[in-house]
Chain A
Amino acid sequence: DAGVTQSPTHLIKTRGQQVTLRCSPKSGHDTVSWYQQALGQGPQFIFQYYEEEERQRGNFPDRFSGHQFPNYSSELNVNALLLGDSALYLCASSFVVLRHGYTFGSGTRLTVV
Protein backbone atom coordinates (compact mmCIF):
# COMPACT_ATOMS: atom_id res chain seq x y z
CA ASP A 1 0.00 0.00 0.00
CA ALA A 2 1.72 3.17 -1.20
CA GLY A 3 2.01 5.95 1.31
CA VAL A 4 2.13 9.63 0.46
CA THR A 5 4.19 10.39 -2.62
CA GLN A 6 5.73 13.80 -3.26
CA SER A 7 7.58 15.10 -6.29
CA PRO A 8 10.13 16.31 -6.97
CA THR A 9 12.35 15.37 -4.02
CA HIS A 10 14.70 18.30 -4.52
CA LEU A 11 14.39 21.56 -6.42
CA ILE A 12 16.54 24.66 -6.92
CA LYS A 13 14.87 27.86 -8.09
CA THR A 14 15.89 31.48 -8.55
CA ARG A 15 14.30 34.38 -6.66
CA GLY A 16 11.18 35.64 -8.41
CA GLN A 17 10.44 32.34 -10.14
CA GLN A 18 7.38 30.19 -9.61
CA VAL A 19 7.31 26.57 -8.42
CA THR A 20 4.77 23.73 -8.36
CA LEU A 21 5.06 20.83 -5.95
CA ARG A 22 2.96 17.69 -6.24
CA CYS A 23 1.48 15.21 -3.80
CA SER A 24 -0.40 11.92 -4.13
CA PRO A 25 -2.14 10.95 -0.89
CA LYS A 26 -2.19 7.54 0.73
CA SER A 27 -4.79 5.20 -0.72
CA GLY A 28 -8.15 5.75 1.00
CA HIS A 29 -7.31 9.26 2.19
CA ASP A 30 -9.30 12.23 0.90
CA THR A 31 -7.77 15.20 2.71
CA VAL A 32 -4.40 16.77 1.92
CA SER A 33 -2.53 19.25 4.08
CA TRP A 34 0.64 21.14 3.22
CA TYR A 35 3.33 22.19 5.68
CA GLN A 36 6.52 24.22 5.40
CA GLN A 37 9.43 23.13 7.61
CA ALA A 38 12.45 25.40 7.89
CA LEU A 39 15.72 23.90 9.11
CA GLY A 40 15.56 23.16 12.84
CA GLN A 41 11.91 24.17 13.12
CA GLY A 42 8.64 22.33 13.40
CA PRO A 43 6.28 22.09 10.42
CA GLN A 44 4.17 25.22 9.82
CA PHE A 45 0.64 24.73 8.45
CA ILE A 46 0.08 26.26 5.01
CA PHE A 47 -3.38 25.00 4.01
CA GLN A 48 -5.64 21.97 3.78
CA TYR A 49 -7.74 20.68 0.89
CA TYR A 50 -10.85 18.54 1.05
CA GLU A 51 -13.33 17.86 -1.75
CA GLU A 52 -11.24 20.05 -4.06
CA GLU A 53 -11.76 23.11 -1.85
CA GLU A 54 -9.34 24.93 0.45
CA ARG A 55 -10.77 24.06 3.85
CA GLN A 56 -8.35 25.90 6.13
CA ARG A 57 -5.38 28.21 5.74
CA GLY A 58 -2.44 29.14 7.94
CA ASN A 59 -0.60 32.46 8.09
CA PHE A 60 0.95 32.34 4.64
CA PRO A 61 0.69 35.04 1.94
CA ASP A 62 -1.39 34.70 -1.20
CA ARG A 63 1.80 33.79 -3.11
CA PHE A 64 1.11 30.32 -1.75
CA SER A 65 -1.81 28.65 -3.50
CA GLY A 66 -2.96 25.12 -4.07
CA HIS A 67 -5.29 22.80 -5.82
CA GLN A 68 -6.83 19.39 -5.23
CA PHE A 69 -7.88 17.17 -8.10
CA PRO A 70 -10.82 14.70 -8.27
CA ASN A 71 -8.41 11.80 -7.56
CA TYR A 72 -7.45 13.60 -4.28
CA SER A 73 -3.92 14.45 -5.43
CA SER A 74 -2.79 17.99 -4.79
CA GLU A 75 -0.44 20.71 -5.93
CA LEU A 76 1.22 23.53 -4.02
CA ASN A 77 2.17 26.59 -6.05
CA VAL A 78 4.45 29.34 -4.84
CA ASN A 79 4.82 32.53 -6.90
CA ALA A 80 7.50 35.23 -6.76
CA LEU A 81 9.88 33.05 -4.75
CA LEU A 82 11.88 34.63 -1.93
CA LEU A 83 15.07 33.34 -0.33
CA GLY A 84 13.03 32.76 2.83
CA ASP A 85 10.86 30.25 1.01
CA SER A 86 13.75 27.77 1.10
CA ALA A 87 12.49 24.87 3.22
CA LEU A 88 11.25 21.29 3.25
CA TYR A 89 7.66 21.21 2.02
CA LEU A 90 5.66 18.36 3.47
CA CYS A 91 2.42 16.93 2.26
CA ALA A 92 0.24 15.04 4.73
CA SER A 93 -2.87 13.04 3.97
CA SER A 94 -5.69 11.79 6.15
CA PHE A 95 -9.25 10.63 6.08
CA VAL A 96 -11.59 13.44 7.16
CA VAL A 97 -12.10 11.94 10.59
CA LEU A 98 -8.55 12.20 11.88
CA ARG A 99 -8.12 9.33 14.33
CA HIS A 100 -4.71 7.95 13.46
CA GLY A 101 -2.71 11.06 12.69
CA TYR A 102 -1.56 12.33 9.38
CA THR A 103 0.55 10.24 7.03
CA PHE A 104 3.39 12.42 5.77
CA GLY A 105 5.37 12.18 2.58
CA SER A 106 9.15 12.52 2.57
CA GLY A 107 8.88 16.10 1.41
CA THR A 108 10.29 18.31 -1.32
CA ARG A 109 13.46 20.21 -0.43
CA LEU A 110 13.16 23.64 -2.10
CA THR A 111 16.22 25.85 -2.31
CA VAL A 112 15.81 29.42 -3.57
CA VAL A 113 19.01 31.12 -4.74
Chain B
Amino acid sequence: EDQVTQSPEALRLQEGESSSLNCSYTVSGLRGLFWYRQDPGKGPEFLFTLYSAGEEKEKERLKATLTKKESFLHITAPKPEDSATYLCAVQAEKDDKIIFGKGTRLHILP
Protein backbone atom coordinates (compact mmCIF):
# COMPACT_ATOMS: atom_id res chain seq x y z
CA GLU B 1 0.00 0.00 0.00
CA ASP B 2 1.26 3.48 -0.88
CA GLN B 3 2.28 5.41 2.21
CA VAL B 4 3.79 8.73 3.28
CA THR B 5 5.40 9.23 6.70
CA GLN B 6 6.62 12.60 7.90
CA SER B 7 8.96 13.27 10.81
CA PRO B 8 9.19 14.82 13.24
CA GLU B 9 5.51 15.43 14.04
CA ALA B 10 6.42 18.78 15.59
CA LEU B 11 9.57 20.88 15.70
CA ARG B 12 10.41 24.01 17.67
CA LEU B 13 13.41 26.06 16.55
CA GLN B 14 14.92 29.35 17.53
CA GLU B 15 14.94 32.04 14.85
CA GLY B 16 18.00 31.45 12.67
CA GLU B 17 18.41 27.80 13.70
CA SER B 18 18.49 25.71 10.50
CA SER B 19 16.99 22.22 10.34
CA SER B 20 15.41 19.61 8.05
CA LEU B 21 12.02 17.95 7.81
CA ASN B 22 11.78 14.38 6.53
CA CYS B 23 9.24 12.69 4.25
CA SER B 24 9.61 8.95 3.73
CA TYR B 25 7.45 7.30 1.10
CA THR B 26 6.59 3.93 -0.34
CA VAL B 27 4.87 4.01 -3.70
CA SER B 28 4.90 1.70 -6.67
CA GLY B 29 6.18 4.14 -9.26
CA LEU B 30 6.54 7.77 -8.25
CA ARG B 31 5.06 10.31 -10.63
CA GLY B 32 5.83 13.26 -8.39
CA LEU B 33 6.41 14.39 -4.80
CA PHE B 34 4.90 17.64 -3.54
CA TRP B 35 5.57 19.91 -0.58
CA TYR B 36 2.88 22.22 0.76
CA ARG B 37 2.70 24.75 3.57
CA GLN B 38 -0.51 25.02 5.59
CA ASP B 39 -1.34 27.84 8.00
CA PRO B 40 -4.02 27.27 10.69
CA GLY B 41 -7.55 27.33 9.28
CA LYS B 42 -6.30 27.69 5.69
CA GLY B 43 -5.88 25.38 2.75
CA PRO B 44 -2.44 24.04 1.83
CA GLU B 45 -0.24 26.33 -0.27
CA PHE B 46 1.90 24.72 -2.98
CA LEU B 47 5.68 24.98 -2.51
CA PHE B 48 7.53 22.45 -4.71
CA THR B 49 7.19 19.50 -7.05
CA LEU B 50 10.04 16.99 -7.38
CA TYR B 51 9.99 14.29 -10.04
CA SER B 52 13.18 12.25 -9.86
CA ALA B 53 15.91 11.24 -7.42
CA GLY B 54 18.64 13.84 -7.18
CA GLU B 55 16.36 16.74 -8.03
CA GLU B 56 16.48 19.87 -5.85
CA LYS B 57 14.24 22.95 -5.72
CA GLU B 58 14.74 26.17 -3.76
CA LYS B 59 12.51 29.03 -2.70
CA GLU B 60 13.75 31.71 -0.31
CA ARG B 61 14.82 29.90 2.88
CA LEU B 62 13.45 26.52 1.77
CA LYS B 63 15.18 23.81 -0.22
CA ALA B 64 13.59 20.46 -1.12
CA THR B 65 15.58 17.39 -2.13
CA LEU B 66 14.52 13.92 -3.31
CA THR B 67 15.99 10.42 -3.12
CA LYS B 68 14.40 7.11 -4.12
CA LYS B 69 12.94 6.62 -0.65
CA GLU B 70 12.60 10.04 0.95
CA SER B 71 12.54 13.78 0.58
CA PHE B 72 13.92 16.47 2.82
CA LEU B 73 12.73 20.02 3.28
CA HIS B 74 15.68 22.04 4.51
CA ILE B 75 14.96 25.36 6.16
CA THR B 76 17.88 27.76 6.47
CA ALA B 77 17.93 30.57 9.06
CA PRO B 78 14.16 30.39 9.62
CA LYS B 79 12.06 33.35 10.70
CA PRO B 80 8.89 33.33 12.86
CA GLU B 81 6.77 33.76 9.73
CA ASP B 82 7.97 30.32 8.57
CA SER B 83 5.89 28.78 11.37
CA ALA B 84 3.30 26.51 9.78
CA THR B 85 2.49 22.86 9.11
CA TYR B 86 4.49 21.44 6.20
CA LEU B 87 2.79 18.66 4.25
CA CYS B 88 4.41 16.16 1.92
CA ALA B 89 2.38 14.32 -0.74
CA VAL B 90 3.19 11.70 -3.40
CA GLN B 91 1.48 10.92 -6.68
CA ALA B 92 1.59 7.32 -7.87
CA GLU B 93 2.05 6.42 -11.53
CA LYS B 94 -0.43 3.57 -11.41
CA ASP B 95 -3.52 5.64 -10.56
CA ASP B 96 -2.37 9.28 -10.24
CA LYS B 97 -3.82 9.47 -6.72
CA ILE B 98 -2.13 12.02 -4.47
CA ILE B 99 -1.54 10.81 -0.91
CA PHE B 100 -0.59 13.17 1.91
CA GLY B 101 1.44 12.62 5.03
CA LYS B 102 0.24 13.91 8.40
CA GLY B 103 2.56 16.89 8.28
CA THR B 104 5.23 18.46 10.47
CA ARG B 105 4.15 21.36 12.69
CA LEU B 106 7.03 23.84 12.67
CA HIS B 107 7.23 26.62 15.26
CA ILE B 108 9.96 29.25 15.02
CA LEU B 109 10.58 31.17 18.22
CA PRO B 110 11.71 34.83 17.95
Question: Which of A's residues lie within 8 Å of B, judged by CB?
Answer: 4, 33, 35, 40-45, 56, 58, 90, 92, 98-107, 109
Asked if A106 contacts B42 (CB within 8 A), the reply is yes
Asked if A33 contacts B42 (CB within 8 A), the reply is no
Q: How many pairs, one residue from A and one from B, have CB atoms within 8 Å of each other in the complex?
A: 60
Asked if A43 contacts B97 (CB within 8 A), the reply is no
Least CB distance from B27 to A in Å reads: 14
B103 contacts across to A, CB distance below 8 A: 41-42
Least CB distance from B59 to A in Å reads: 13
Q: Tell me if B8 is interfacial: C-beta within 8 Å of chain A.
A: no
CA distance A109 to B42 in the complex (A): 10
Asked if B97 contacts A56 (CB within 8 A), the reply is yes
Measured as residues with beta carbon below 8 angstroms from the partner, the interface class of chain B is 20 to 34
Of A41, A43, A103, A107, the residue contacting B42 (CB under 8 A) is A107
Given contacts A33-B98, A90-B43, 17 further A-B contacts (CB under 8 A): A35-B100, A41-B102, A42-B4, A42-B89, A43-B44, A43-B100, A45-B97, A56-B95, A98-B32, A100-B49, A101-B47, A102-B46, A103-B46, A104-B43, A105-B43, A107-B41, A107-B43
Question: Which of B's residues lie within 8 Å of A, judged by CB?
Answer: 4, 6, 32, 34, 36, 41-49, 87, 89, 91, 95-103
CA distance A92 to B36 in the complex (A): 13
Max count, chain A CB within 10 A of own CB: residue among B4, B36, B44, B47: B44
